[in-house]
Structure 1
Amino acid sequence: MNPASLIPMAEPIPIHWAWFDVLLIATFAAHVLFMNAMLGSAAIGLVQAVRGRNTLIREVGMKLPPLLALTINMGVAPLLFLQVNYGNFDYVSSVLMGGWWLAVIFVLLYSYYGFYLYKFKYETMGAGLRLALFGSSVLGIVYVGFMFSNNMTLMLRPEGWAPYFDGYAGFLNWRDPALYPRFLHMMIGALAVGGLFVALLGRHKQSEDFVRTGMWWFTRATMVNLAVGLWFLMALPDKVMLAFMGHNLPATLTLVAGLASAGVLLYAGFRMEPMRVAAWAAITVFLMACVRHWARVLYLDPWFSMDTVPVTNQYGSFYLFLGFLVGGGALMAYMLKLYFKSGQGRA
């Protein structure tokens, strides 16, 4: 079977594809920052609780419902922009995964309400039940992350779609060697940013213990993630890997810039400077989102090019989007201002 015959025809888009790629990268970077802060801090709090130190998990648990809500909302935009430019690949991989992909909704709802119960029923639940509820909610988020890694890798490999026709109702991308380092790279990155979130929380609460704990997790997880990132690079197909090693200058320079930024933020982490680390973490995550996008483009190069997609030049909807973006951003800023003025926000 020719894999190219399985790829649907791309639909026309209203404006130049570069606009959607830029929005995809920017919104994905924002989503990753919120997701990492949420999942990483929850995992660190869980580890601390298992060790008998419950202060951190209690403080983090109070922040998780709004963090998870922001993570979900920030994740909608990049998923939609991905489907505009690369929907003929993403929709196929989602359908092929079948029940595994549909289960993401229900698992995410379970984790969401699990964190809410932990926050609002903390005093009425026993210690064992609290820990079990919190731990299972964290595992639910890990499942969601693994399914997204499967989907985002499966969409890049039309040659791996054929097993669906062997009788499977839904399958995962187990045979892709890049799946495992890609997933681990994201999860360990979550521990790093989660540690940074704990340190910033400690700085806000004037808790040196939180700052030390957060910076310890941040620096160690970042060093481990650099090694996992090398594994991820070596697991890519030869053509994609070589593009990042000098065969494609823009892709190579983007990777080098990301590594340099990671070096600076790691240096700031060892100097126990959480505010400086936060600034460089945002820059590094954005650059790594650009690297991820380069990998997507290079993977799909044999099958698809955005230059072949018809453009209708209908900019009315784009201007409407920009208006709602500015208005919605202002409204969100006002809502956050009210939240932090409230007693719950100050707590």
Structure 2
Amino acid sequence: MSASPSQDMGSTRMESLPKVELHRHLEGALRLSTLLELARADGLNVPRDEPALRAQVQVLPHDPLTWANFLAKFDTLRLFFRSPDVICRIVREAIEDLAADHIVYAELRFTPAALAAARGFAFEEVMDWVLAAGQEAMQATGVRVGWVASVNRHEPVALAERVGRAAAERLALGIVGMDLAGNEVDYASDPFTGVFREAAQAGLGITLHAGEWADGGSVFQAMDVLGAQRIAHGVHAVDDPRALDLARERRIAFELCLTSNVASGAVRSYADHPLPRLVQAGIPVTLNSDDPSICGIRLSDEHRAAIEHFGLSLDSVRGMTLTAAQSAFLPERDRKQLEARLEEELFAS
């Protein structure tokens, strides 16, 4: 902890630091300018003026900070995934935005079935469009991106099985992991155990949304039963000693999303966020933007928030970037190279 975060902030512009992000949703990473352009050109049934459209896709100061309001933004955002060209454009711009924030490695997650449903595409086609556009954007920007295929708890297990198999078939094309997301309060994770065990055996990294709105038992189950190698959010793990003990024992990193957790009502305020308690408990933590379109942020803003709201030193935040690199779903050799690069660039005197 640092008593003078402003001093650290003044010495280095946050944007210039190399960063790693492990938790960002493609469906929550669309530029407002692109949304406006597409709304006006394609005749979508959405507002065509900026203030009104912003209100439908972004959590604004007057909005209720609730799970329902937060997830409702996706209802509008997913309307825009209407053609291969648009999907590829969104992918390219998302990676360009990573580069603009000096993110050198990122894992972007997307929900193939949800994107395919916008116009009745086959989800395998959507996966291939995303991967092809991603490869093009990586070559243009120099940012390395791994893709995480997400499935939702409220959808059939059979669909998740198909997505998992398709993801495993595309390991060599850039998919690195699989994620379980969606309503963890009303829909159990147990039915998906076999899906994720099979995915892990195929070589996919496993990251699961858990403990975001449900209690710490959800986090323990994600690790102990479904085999999570990382936990997405996990803010309520602090209320379950078993979850903390298991995460510490297995060195399972938590993908924390500070602004998103406040905007969605997962925590009441920054002051209530368990980041300090997780750090004190010895849990590896990383900082992430989750849905920059909805939250109106960049990863640099999340790093700054960690310093301003929790008094973390700049070195502590740099250490979380290194933790993210160490927890990436990369081949060991590539992960070690990323770690070495970050150690040199982040901690160079």
Higher helix share: 1
Which TM class, normalised by the smaller chain length? under 0.3
Higher strand share: 2
Q: TM-score, normalised by structure 1?
A: 0.26
Pair member with larger Rg: 1
Q: TM-score, normalised by structure 2?
A: 0.26
